[in-house]
Amino acid sequence: MALLKVENLSKSFSGLKAVSNLDLEIMEGELVGLIGPNGAGKTTVFNLLTGVYVPTEGTISFKGKRIDGSPLYKVSHLGIARTFQNIRLFGDLPVIDNVKIAYHQHVSYNTLSGILRLPNYYRGEAEIYQKAYDLLKIFDLHEKEDELAKNLPYGQQRRLEIARALATKPSLLLLDEPAAGMNPQETQNLMELIRWIREEFALTILLIEHDMSLVMGVCERIYVLDYGMVIAHGNPDEIKSNPRVIEAYLGEEAG
Amino acid sequence: MSNMGKNKLPIVNRKNIIVLFLLLVVYGVVQILQSNGILDRFYTMTLILACIYIILAVSQNLITGFTGQLAIGHAGFMAIGAYMSAFIVVKMNGPVVGGLIFGALVAAFAGVLIGIPTLRLRGDYLAIATLGLGEIVRIIFLNWDYLGGATGFQVPKSMNWTWAFWLMVLSVVVINNFINSSHGRACISIRENEIAAEAMGINTTKYKVIAFALGAMFAGLAGGIYANYMFFIQPGTFSFLKSFEILVMVVLGGLGSITGSILGAVIMTVASALLADIPELRMVIIAVLLIIIMIFRPNGILGTKEFNLSFLNPKKKGEENGIT
């Protein structure tokens, strides 16, 4: 069974069809890319999948359960985590707190024990801290745990967003342009990191990316979106030679 | 908190013992000065009012500074707490503690009722809606003749320095502990980035309402202390100007800083008392003071930082820097 199944998904913004009749199927453990020119509707698809937008038409099923129309936090509880194209960290909080907050849905004590400082508060906090610290270590951010997130360099902010998303313990991770603004070396490292976290956390990953070397390098399957419609779908080699994709990216051939 | 595992009672550490010691000293000194008659009634009243305003400012800060919701209806919750506790004490002949608890709970309930519809609004819209609701509360009491209406309501004086001081400590400890728990961090994440918080699985509506209700509850408690100390309450006391006064204390001390709110409340209360002899210039001087502080410290006196005694406990990995 598909982990994520999107059928006939459409979203209109007062007449403008941002996404139309999208069909998407992702199997467990896959690493899938979603590419397309600027304004093709990629981020809208992410926003539909995570519940930021309610679809105009169509259905989204995750683990066999309908999730279209569910609020964001419920989608997160079901196991879909995401990063944002325009980084949305909790900037004025320390790096470690960013990860701790994402761990909140798994916290083991309730509000009252937190206020009364019952023993399970201390146990819970110790556990949260340890988990958050371990995650930061994976992303090589543990030495900056007390720094404010907004003061991190750009590349580290991107990595922190991924670490934070992983703290929610997702089964499907959506990465929105994880390599944006990174140099080729950083992109290379990121590719390895993405492959590694997929194995380590048993994840399924869907990523939006403009950097073709990254998409072609890590993705097993690629969907190409243009004007809100899937214009091609297949493995990296098929996509590279697909004339419709070349047309969408480079424009129509003259004559 | 990794160091806490071995410790049987992690709440008993050097920092907390010293904070407790300092609190006892402050309490004891005032108590002795009072019983010797060195502090006259005016100064005692100022100190008790400072305690009441600390509760109000810290609870307003929970809503505005930590959760990021600009709500300006705190005087309304204070009024609910004041009138409801007075109702229990005067009309029901109940115990004053029962009155305080009842007042706080009714205020918290009102916080939930008001919070659910209004917390969907953002920024200035929320400010206007809560401002209006605060005034509605005042007008209800103004027209409720059973509770005195416009002429006011007499309540026997049962609160004193001991009550006000320790209830203030209790309120600050509860709010501080909440802020430094995972649930408090969930509230702070709403202030930082609501969409990201929601995407990380935080039910933002729920946590906004929790913060709002908790803030309203302590505003109600402060109202209860006020009613049972002042002999006399009337609706005019709880106008929107009171809400602004509380907000000014919070902004002055620093949004997102509990110790800042305490400082802001004390400064404003003491400044009002010191300038009581020149009422015609009082508001002018306070306004100038505020303008000067806002020019030099636009984020408030403490910003989002806490004044703390963490240097007493050498910093251990991951330990929170709360004040208690």
pLDDT at position B7 over 80 = no
In a domain, B263, yes or no: no
pLDDT average, residue stretch B218-239: 94
List the domain range (segments joined by +) for residue B205.
40-237
Q: Which pLDDT belongs to residue A212?
A: 82
Which H/E stretch holds residue A175? strand A172-176
How many CB atoms are closer than 10 A to CB B276? 11
In a domain, B130, yes or no: yes
Angle between helices A154-167 and A119-138 (to 10 degrees): 130
Mutate to test the interface with A, among B6, B9, B195, B200 (most CBs of A within 10 A): B200
The alpha carbon dihedral of A143, A145, A150, A155 has a sign of positive
In a domain, B19, yes or no: no
The Cα–Cα gap between A23 and A21 comes to: 6
pLDDT at position A135 over 80 = yes
- A201 three-state secondary structure: coil
How many CB atoms are closer than 10 A to CB B277? 8
pLDDT average, residue stretch B214-241: 94
Pick from B177, B185, B192: CB nearest A91: B192
Pick from A89, A101, A167: CB nearest B186: A101
pLDDT average, residue stretch B100-123: 93
Q: Which pLDDT belongs to residue A246?
A: 83
Q: Is the distance from CB of B84 to CB of B102 less than 8 angstroms?
A: yes
State the complex-level ipTM.
0.91
The Cα–Cα gap between B269 and B46 comes to: 7
In a domain, B21, yes or no: no
How many CB atoms are closer than 10 A to CB B104? 26
Q: Which pLDDT belongs to residue B318?
A: 39
Amino acid at A37: P
The answer to whether B201 contacts A168, with C-beta atoms less than 8 Å apart, is yes
Q: Which residues pair with A11 in a beta bridge?
A: A19
Q: Which pLDDT belongs to residue B317?
A: 40
Q: Which pLDDT belongs to residue A81?
A: 95
| Residue scoring higher pLDDT (B318 or B140) | B140
In a domain, B257, yes or no: no
In a domain, B22, yes or no: no
Q: Could you give the number of structural domains in chain B?
A: 1
Region of residue A106 (phi > 0: left; psi between -120 and 50: alpha; otherwise: beta): alpha
In a domain, B225, yes or no: yes
How many CB atoms are closer than 10 A to CB B286? 17
Q: Which CATH superfamily is domain A4-79+170-250 in?
A: P-loop containing nucleotide triphosphate hydrolases (3.40.50.300)
Query: Per residue in B108-124, is it b (16+ CB within 10 Å) or e — as a string?
Result: bebbeebbeebbebeee
The answer to whether B181 contacts A121, with C-beta atoms less than 8 Å apart, is yes
Q: Which pLDDT belongs to residue B312?
A: 56
The answer to whether A82 contacts B174, with C-beta atoms less than 8 Å apart, is no
Between β-strands A172-176 and A204-208, what pairing exists: parallel, antiparallel or unpaired?
parallel
Looking at chain B, which residue has its C-alpha nearest residue A163? B200
pTM: 0.90
- pLDDT tens-digit profile of B283-323? 888 888 888 888 888 888 888 788 776 655 554 443 444 44
Residues of B in contact with A71 (CB under 8 A): 198, 203
- pLDDT tens-digit profile of A36-59? 888 888 999 999 999 999 999 999
Locus of tokens 């904070």 = B19
Angle between helices B161-179 and B258-274 (to 10 degrees): 150
Q: Which pLDDT belongs to residue B4?
A: 43
- pLDDT tens-digit profile of A53-87? 999 999 999 999 999 889 999 999 999 999 999 99
Question: A34-43, B61-70, B164-173: which range is least confident on average?
Answer: A34-43
In a domain, B173, yes or no: yes
Q: Nearest-CA distance from B26 to chain A in Å?
A: 24
Q: Nearest-CA distance from A16 to chain B in Å?
A: 23
The answer to whether B196 contacts A88, with C-beta atoms less than 8 Å apart, is yes
Predicted confidence band of residue B84 (pLDDT cuts 50, 70, 90): very high
The answer to whether A93 contacts B189, with C-beta atoms less than 8 Å apart, is yes
- pLDDT tens-digit profile of B198-224? 999 999 999 999 999 999 999 999 999
pLDDT at position B80 over 50 = yes
What's the residue count for chain B? 324
Query: Does residue B211 sit at the A interface (CB-CB below 8 Å)?
Result: no
Residue B265, C-beta contacts closer than 8 angstroms, at least 6 positions apart: B50, B53, B54, B56, B57, B58, B249, B253
Amino acid at A119: P
- pLDDT tens-digit profile of B88-102? 999 999 999 999 999
The answer to whether B186 contacts A73, with C-beta atoms less than 8 Å apart, is no
pLDDT average, residue stretch B66-75: 94
For B319, half-sphere exposure in the C-beta direction (CA atoms, 13 angstrom radius) is 21
Residues of B in contact with A52 (CB under 8 A): 195, 199
